[in-house]
Structure 1
Amino acid sequence: MPLSMAFWLGWRFYRARQSNSFISFIAFASTAGIALGVAVLIIVQSAMNGFEGELERRFLDVVPHAELTGVNEPIQDWHAMASDAMKITGIRGAAPFIRLQGLVQRPGGFQGLNLVGISPEFESRVSGIANYMEADVWQRLGDKDDSIVLGKALADKLGLATGDALMLYVPDLAAGKTGRLGAARSHRFVLAGTFKLGGELELGNAYVSMDHLAKLLEFGDSVSGVRIAVDDVFAAPRLIRELGFSQQQYVYMSDWTRTQGHLYQDIQLVRTLMYLVLALVIAVACFNIVSTLVMAVRDKTSEIAILMTMGIRRQAIVLLFMVHGAVSGLLGTALGVVLGTTIAWNLPQLAAGLESLFGVKLLSADVYFIDFLPSELMWQDVVWASVMALVMSLLATLYPAIKASKTAPAAALAGR
């Protein structure tokens, strides 16, 4: 029998299923299950892509890709270190910084603060923090004064407004060397403005002028370390090791995978788990195809016998019922792709609409590094979801199709 005839008969058998309402219901359930599984898989994968993209574009735009810090003493010649960094292929920027850990007093206790002294001239080469604060506030960090820029969440928590003063308490390093443990010094700063980024960065980071902080710590021209920006964030561990091993001074080597890598690992873990769960949902839906075909074979036993007496080979019967079952998988996959891609393209707007309608916040900027639900549709995810659904649906047709090909024509017609 020609191949086209087998496809035509399979399509006829599929359309004729409405003669049995129960078989029709099971076929509809399998098609709907596959469509739902494919759609949700595409939506979840797009959301995970969105989180990963925002992690790189927003979070890693502020968090240093990698940095070198002095071990026992500040870095004296940071210009040479920055020059060495720019000679390495893959590093696109280098900038000095001074870091100081301290405490600020707030109602009810103290708040830990990571104070970073930067120079706008150099910091713009490695960080996009300027995009999250007002232009005049960013320029104030270039002045050699006591201006400080806090995260908006921290400023609100401390009850501070622009122009207010705050005291930062830091360990007295000189006193520590003489054995006076617990000694501390206080430094006064004036709030020049705030930056709004979201998440823990707003609560724990603050920026001041590098020159002013160097003066307070009596660093002179020395700095705490040099941070770099790279073209490929996943190459940061390799590049910072290459730079660190080329230095004469002992330095600590750190990169974003050590300090913030848990966020990326969490995204990948959720992606993997959701992929497995939704793949199982599609597999369960495909099992309904088995039920549909088994009942269809029993319902079409006499038709199968007649076809076989007319000379149709058993291989053609197998192909016929594979086509019969694959139609459900094909329709379900097509519907799932249309539904999934439509929702994935409009997921941020849909999430914002739900937040407005029910008065809830799906993502809080105080907890996550973003306050909206991102989505980034990638066609390879659509292809993989479609191929997986189609392969599962085809595999589900094998047993019933082979069972149909083993029908004994004489016994089937005699039983008719």
Structure 2
Amino acid sequence: MKGPLALSIGWRFYRARQSNSFISFISFASTAGIALGVAVLIIVLSAMNGFERELEHRLLGVVPQADIVGVSEPIANWQSVAEGALLIEGIRGAAPFIRMQGLVQKPGGFQGLAVVGIDPKEEIKVSTLAQFMSDASWQSLGQDENHIVLGQSLLTKLGLEVGDTLALYVQDMDPEAAGSLRAAKSHRFVVSGAYNLGGELELTTAYIPMQYAAQILNMKSGVTGVRISVDKVFDAPVKVRELGYAQKQSVYISDWTRTQGHLYQDIQLVRTVMYLVLVLVIGVACFNIVSTLVMAVRDKASEIAILMTMGLSRLAVMGIFMVQGALNGLLGCGLGGIIGVSVALNLSAIASTMEQLLGIQLLSADVYFVDFLPSELHGSDAVLVIVMAFVMSLIATLYPAWKASQIAPAQALAGR
């Protein structure tokens, strides 16, 4: 009977707190603080999840998840390398590429550019690049012509449009003397399209047909390297090493953790810092529960004494005030959870509306790899935050409840 009795009296004490306006205010502040901390923490974690999703599906879908490149000579039989890659569990695709560095003229100077020659039929096995350009642009990369597809940001920066021509300066390797270089040659290209991905990649990378790239480099056979895609992006370093060690010729091994790993580390750092800060916010709100209960104990000292003279145990007295404090925490967690989940599910739309109303841009595509605020709510994150906040609020009730159980009935009634 102690449990239900403590619960009933605790509920009545919780409702009766309205009789003391100051205690009610502190109680409201603690509930609001917990709700705010829970809501913001759920929203922040959802935003970080969204950035991770976009990093994996957007950026890592276009840049190589991993690749192997010939050291002193091209990879001659790339088909056998691709077949060997598919035999490794966890690798889902492999495609050849030819890579070169070039300079394109822009107003006021030159712009460095990484030019990648691809075969659309093979590239689609390892890349989602086709999703970020028109079908006509993608198909133009399958023709053995001087077509080039630039990032939309670079196209705008150069003041060009689809159909215009540009001069690209590329170092010409001397096929008869390995390692020696001729003077850079100028090659004319027709801009056949643009891709719109966002971020630095748009300014630094262009795509051309792989056969035409081979002609520019006098590469009669072979390719620069083979890129692979994996089922789980974090397995890329292990899988590409397994593939690279199986090759007979010397190859360079690279994966996305070397080229784009800083983005993932930045996301994790922000997640950790924000998690700690907001947990402290919830902790401060829980301290308000301590203040509320300490004042409630002093306010209800005579009622507690009467109950104890009627036979209520000290353990039951602790339960009464733990219930009262837990109700504050439960209400705050519930409100915070509802608000946090609701906002997290509509965060992208809310951010877009704010941008339109205020005339600002929260994320610039020229700086970040996305130009919108992504969000992905994980149920486990919401449950973890709510449970953590409730446990913290429950722990905060222990000391005031213990102090209430130590009240001496005779002294409390004598001073009434």
TM-score, normalisation: structure 2 = 0.98
Residues matched between the structures, number: 416
For 2:268 and 2:177, how far apart are their aligned partners in 1? 45
CA spacing shift, 1:54–1:179, aligned 2, 3 Å:
closer
2:205: which partner in 1? 205
Letter in structure 1 aligned against 2:244: G
CA spacing shift, 1:333–1:364, aligned 2, 3 Å:
same
For 1:209 and 1:175, how far apart are their aligned partners in 2? 21
For 1:177 and 1:291, how far apart are their aligned partners in 2? 82
For 1:71 and 1:221, how far apart are their aligned partners in 2? 16
1:277: which partner in 2? 277
- Give the superposition deviation at 1:112: 0.7
After superposition, the CA RMSD in angstroms is 1.5
1:118: which partner in 2? 118
For 1:178 and 1:52, how far apart are their aligned partners in 2? 43
Q: Is the 8 A contact 2:35 2:333 kept in 1?
A: yes
- Give the superposition deviation at 1:266: 0.8
1:192: which partner in 2? 192
1:230: which partner in 2? 230
For 1:184 and 1:136, how far apart are their aligned partners in 2? 30
Q: Deviations over 1:381-409 (max 9, x none)?
A: 11011111101001100000000100011
Q: Is the 8 A contact 2:173 2:179 kept in 1?
A: no
Q: Deviations over 1:223-260 (max 9, x none)?
A: 00000011111111110011011111111111111110
For 2:290 and 2:125, how far apart are their aligned partners in 1? 60
For 2:329 and 2:177, how far apart are their aligned partners in 1? 74
For 2:326 and 2:16, how far apart are their aligned partners in 1? 15
For 1:6 and 1:125, how far apart are their aligned partners in 2? 65
2:358: which partner in 1? 358
Q: Is the 8 A contact 2:101 2:115 kept in 1?
A: yes
Q: Deviations over 1:63-91 (max 9, x none)?
A: 11110001111111111111100111111
1:94: which partner in 2? 94
Q: Is the 8 A contact 1:175 1:181 kept in 2?
A: no
Aligned pairs for 1:16-27 within 5 A: 16-27=16-27
For 2:372 and 2:137, how far apart are their aligned partners in 1? 26
Letter in structure 1 aligned against 2:125: R
2:368: which partner in 1? 368
Mapped pair 1:218 → 2:204: no
Q: Is the 8 A contact 1:175 1:183 kept in 2?
A: no
Unaligned runs of 5+ in 2: none
Task: Please state whether the residue corresponding to 2:312 is helix, strand or coil.
Answer: coil
Mapped pair 1:103 → 2:103: yes
For 2:178 and 2:83, how far apart are their aligned partners in 1? 37
Unaligned runs of 5+ in 1: none
For 2:135 and 2:73, how far apart are their aligned partners in 1? 34
Q: Is the 8 A contact 1:244 1:253 kept in 2?
A: yes
For 1:179 and 1:138, how far apart are their aligned partners in 2? 33
Letter in structure 2 aligned against 1:191: V
Q: Deviations over 1:240-283 (max 9, x none)?
A: 01101111111111111111011111111111111111000000
1:327: which partner in 2? 327
Task: Please state whether the residue corresponding to 2:174 is helix, strand or coil.
Answer: helix
For 2:41 and 2:384, how far apart are their aligned partners in 1? 10
For 1:182 and 1:315, how far apart are their aligned partners in 2? 89
Q: Is the 8 A contact 2:133 2:196 kept in 1?
A: yes
Task: Please state whether the residue corresponding to 1:333 is helix, strand or coil.
Answer: helix
1:349: which partner in 2? 349
2:153: which partner in 1? 153
Mapped pair 1:259 → 2:259: yes
2:45: which partner in 1? 45
Task: Please state whether the residue corresponding to 1:252 is helix, strand or coil.
Answer: strand
CA spacing shift, 1:175–1:223, aligned 2, 3 Å:
closer
CA spacing shift, 1:82–1:180, aligned 2, 3 Å:
closer
2:288: which partner in 1? 288
Letter in structure 1 aligned against 2:234: F
- Give the superposition deviation at 1:182: 8.6
Greater CA drift, 167-176 or 230-239: 167-176
Letter in structure 2 aligned against 1:198: G
For 2:262 and 2:210, how far apart are their aligned partners in 1? 29
For 2:185 and 2:179, how far apart are their aligned partners in 1? 15
Aligned pairs for 1:372-391 within 5 A: 372-391=372-391
Letter in structure 1 aligned against 2:241: R
Greater CA drift, 161-170 or 359-368: 161-170
Q: Is the 8 A contact 1:100 1:115 kept in 2?
A: yes
For 2:349 and 2:179, how far apart are their aligned partners in 1? 60
Aligned pairs for 1:290-309 within 5 A: 290-309=290-309
Task: Please state whether the residue corresponding to 1:174 is helix, strand or coil.
Answer: coil
- Give the superposition deviation at 1:185: 2.1
- Give the superposition deviation at 1:173: 3.3
CA spacing shift, 1:316–1:162, aligned 2, 3 Å:
same
For 1:80 and 1:34, how far apart are their aligned partners in 2? 60
Task: Please state whether the residue corresponding to 1:220 is helix, strand or coil.
Answer: coil
Q: Is the 8 A contact 1:10 1:321 kept in 2?
A: yes
- Give the superposition deviation at 1:171: 2.7
Q: Deviations over 1:300-319 (max 9, x none)?
A: 11111111111111111111
Q: Is the 8 A contact 1:95 1:228 kept in 2?
A: yes
Q: Is the 8 A contact 1:68 1:252 kept in 2?
A: yes
